[in-house]
Amino acid sequence: AQPQLLAGKNIMITAGPTREAIDPVRYISNHSSGKMGYALAQAARSLGANVTVVSGPVALAAPAKCNLVKVISALDMHDAVMADINQQDIFIACAAVADYRPATIAEQKIKKTNNDEMIVRMIKNPDIVAKVAALENAPFTVGFAAETQDVEHYARDKMQRKNLAMIAANDVSQSGQGFNAEDNALTVFWPQGMTQIALASKQDVAAQLLQLIATQFNANTSP
Ligand code: C5P
């Protein structure tokens, strides 16, 4: 058994995609599988934490011994996170939240017309991880960054802008890792350091990332 580095701590993890409705039968979404977030949930359990997973629609079995809150849209995910965030010691934002949603959801199925074009006007969704990190008494907040170039520069910039304690960057230009893949590799940054987690299964990568999070969390919170 592993040392219970997070015994009794409360961790919330967002996972999976969000779905943004256009009308009663259509939506805009992305290819996130939720596998990384669910692997993080299991890794956090293994370290003794109480885990809440706020999950968009995924084709995965519920993570064992975790509190699973199922949501559909980014606004749902925002509300579910905010409802319980004051109880959390650590927040990990692993979800691929849609940046925009249709400005209105048509009440009836939108009919095809003779026009060869249609326009869906979109408005910005709340940035959940930035809102959490901006809270008074914010939990130790970890974000993800999917980058294709200049990973350190963009990841550190994102960490600063969103006021995160740590950021895990995927290089999504590499095939076979990250988004909707079985394996992942991460470069992890925090204000005073960085480390690489080499390409491995998402379970292995999640276990290593949770070790880092636990170490930094315990360093930040011990007197
Ligand atoms: O700004 P960008 O979307 O690249 O940031 C990615 C990070 O922000 C991830 O941790 C993701 O879960 C989080 N995020 C969020 N709410 C959004 C958009 C992104 O929590 N609306």
Q: With 0.90 as the threshold, say if the pTM is over it.
A: yes
pLDDT in the model for residue 1: 64
Instruction: Determine if residue 25 is labeled as part of a ligand binding site.
Output: no
Asked if residue 1 belongs to a domain, the reply is no
Is residue 4 in some structural domain?
no
Whichever domain contains 179, its CATH number is: 3.40.50.10300
pLDDT of residue 154: 95
For 95, list phi and psi in degrees, rounded to 5.
Answer: -65, 150
Residue 74's H or E segment, with its range, is: helix 74-84
Q: What pLDDT, on a 0 to 100 scale, did the predictor assign at position 100?
A: 98
pLDDT tens-digit profile of 128-152? 999 999 999 999 999 999 888 899 9
Average pLDDT estimate for 112-133: 96
Active site amino acids: 30
Range 104-121 average pLDDT: 95
Distance (angstroms) between ligand 1 centre and the Cα of 130 equals 8
**Ligand 1: which of 19, 82, 97 to mutate, most ligand atoms within 8 Å of CB?**
97
Alpha-carbon distance 82 to 85, whole Å? 5
Q: Mean of the pLDDT values across residues 113-130?
A: 96
Mean model confidence pLDDT for the chain: 94
Residue 207 pLDDT greater than 90, yes or no: yes
In a domain, 196, yes or no: yes
Q: Give CA–CA dist 43/99, Å, rounded.
A: 28
The Cα 80–Cα 14 span in angstroms is 10
Instruction: Encode pLDDT of 3-46 as tens digits.
Output: 799 999 999 999 999 999 999 999 999 999 999 999 999 999 99
Residue 89 annotated in ligand binding: no
pLDDT surpassing 90 at residue 173:
no
Per-residue pLDDT, 138: 97
Does ipTM top 0.85? yes
Averaged pLDDT, 79-106: 98
If you measure from the C-alpha of residue 113 to the centroid of ligand 1, how many angstroms do you get, rounded to a whole number?
36
Q: Which residues line ligand 1 (CB under 6 A)?
A: 14, 74, 93-95, 97, 99, 125, 127-129, 143-145, 158
pLDDT tens track for 50-69: 999 999 999 999 999 999 99
What residues form DSSP beta bridges with 189? 167, 194
- How many domains does the chain divide into? 1
Indicate whether 45 belongs to any domain: yes
Asked whether the predicted pLDDT for residue 178 surpasses 80, the reply is no
Is residue 183 part of an annotated ligand binding site?
A: no
Residue 70 annotated as binding site: no
- Establish if 5 belongs to a structural domain: no
> Is 38 inside a domain boundary?
yes
The closest alpha carbon to 220, from 188, 193, 195, 187, belongs to 193
The residue contributing the CA closest to ligand 1 atom 9 is: 144
Range of the domain at 80: 10-221
Contacts of 47 (CB under 8 A, 6+ apart): 2, 3, 4, 5, 6, 7, 210, 211, 214
How much is the pLDDT for 148?
A: 85
Going from the Cα of 96 to the center of ligand 1, the distance in angstroms, rounded, reads 7
The pLDDT value given to residue 171: 77
In a domain, 3, yes or no: no
